Structure 1
Amino acid sequence: MDWGKKGMIACPICECQTTIPWVHPKRKTVYHQCHQCEAIFMDPKEYPSKEIELKKYLEHENDITNEGYVNFLENFIDAAVHPYLQSGSILDFGSGPNPVLSVLLKRRGYHVAIYDPFFHRDMDISLKYDMITATEVIEHFHNPIVSFKEMIDMLKPEGYLSIMTLFHHNDMDHFKDWFYQRDPTHVIFYRPKTLSFIADKLELILIEHNDYRYAVFQKRTKWGALWIKWL
């Protein structure tokens, strides 16, 4: 596997300057791997346009009648929502054109709002939530720290951020044939270590991950953040 020379594109997560470029052998798409936080991200020059993103999102057949998709989301709720929040307010961030997760959460008694930059843009940013969910969302972030901060700012103190994505294997031989990177709108891929860097940078606590698909953060209180810094 030809890694090429060390690149000078800073990692969008940890700002490491010595990311390593890698060119996909078939598509010739350029990615960069950060050995500090283990993020893999598409070269910003190759990010998809808004038009390409919208077209791809409209191809998804994820609705409430899709039993497999519903079961997929129910598993997420069981693993990354209900153990941390049994009742309260949830924002489904990046809900997509068919906000199935919000329907399932409402069935369980949660108060749910939705937001999506393409399909559900009306949102009162002054409201704060007990939990924010982002399922199959964070891999689309062109500016991940900015987007994570946007979510965190809408959490109540000690609120939860529950995310679902797929963690890469930290193996570029696996990555080149991995189905998840074939989606042109997937521009950044994470490892648990990447999420730990995000947590440290944005005053979150990474309280759980399954090293595969789910992770849960908790927002630090002001005094909790000061205590950790003092330590």
Structure 2
Amino acid sequence: LDFGSGPSPVLATILERDYGFDMDIYDLFFAPNKVFSGKKYHLITSTEVFEHLGDPLEYFKLLAGCLEDDGLLSIMTLFHPLDDQEFLDWYYMRDMSHISFYTSDTMKVISGIAGLDLVFTDNRRYTSFRLKR
């Protein structure tokens, strides 16, 4: 599942073409049919989406419920600077549609609440999760 695929689901296309995944796409504006309802996935991606969500925990729980037991949830969103002045000057924060900001610690806390284990982070923008075992 490419969750928040946008107007042109590039990642889903690459995963299908180059890696043999059979991808579903969902986007609130461009592909609003909730194709994920009642389905389980081995891979869920969400690229530059979670910074736009007002209640990200709700979506973590939703996507956790869509994972197969061995499934992987991979999220990309730029982590915010820890320094207050850097945060205030940060370009990412100046986009009015960006309303939720994260660090790897934030991702770890949220994932624990959502029933996920954080299995990878680059401490900058990428995080991957699996269901808690």
Q: TM above 0.5, one fold?
A: yes
| Separation of aligned partners in 2, 1:179 and 1:165 | 13
Q: Given the two structures, how large is their TM-score scaled by the length of structure 2?
A: 0.94
1:167 to 70, 79, 83: 79
Structure with more relative contact order (C-alpha pairs < 8 Å, separation 6 or more): 2
Deviation at 1:172?
Answer: 1.5
Structure 2: gaps of 5 or more residues:
none
Deviation, 1:158, is: 2.6
Unaligned regions of 5+ residues in structure 1, if any? 1-90, 225-231
1:24-39 to structure 2, matched below 5 A, reads: none
Rounded to whole Å, the distance in 2 between the matches of 1:219 and 1:117 is 25
How many residues are aligned here?
131
- Partner in structure 1 of residue 17 of structure 2: 107
CA drift of 1:192 comes to: 0.5
**Aligned partner letter, 1:132:** I
- Matched to 1:201, the amino acid is I
- The alignment-based identity, stated in percent, is 44
- Aligned match of 1:56: none
- The answer to whether the aligner puts 1:95 opposite 2:5 as a matched pair is yes
Question: Residues 100 and 193 (structure 1 numbering): CA distance in 2 closer, same or farther, change over 3 Å?
Answer: same
- The amino acid of 2:114's aligned partner reads L
Q: Is the 8 A contact 2:64 2:115 kept in 1?
A: no
Counterpart in the other structure of 2:92: 180
Aligned with 2:39: secondary structure? coil
Which of structures 1 and 2 has the bigger CA Rg?
A: 1
Q: CA deviation at 1:182?
A: 1.2
TM-score by length of 1: 0.55
What do residues 26-54 of structure 1 show as CA deviations (whole Å, max 9, x unaligned)? xxxxxxxxxxxxxxxxxxxxxxxxxxxxx
Match of 2:125 among 213, 219, 229: 213
Corresponding position: 1:120 with 2:11:
no
Query: Compared with structure 1, are the counterparts of its residues 127 and 195 closer, same or farther at alpha carbon in structure 2 (3 Å cutoff)?
Result: same
Residue 22 of structure 2 aligns to which amino acid in structure 1?
H
Q: Secondary structure at the match of 2:89?
A: coil
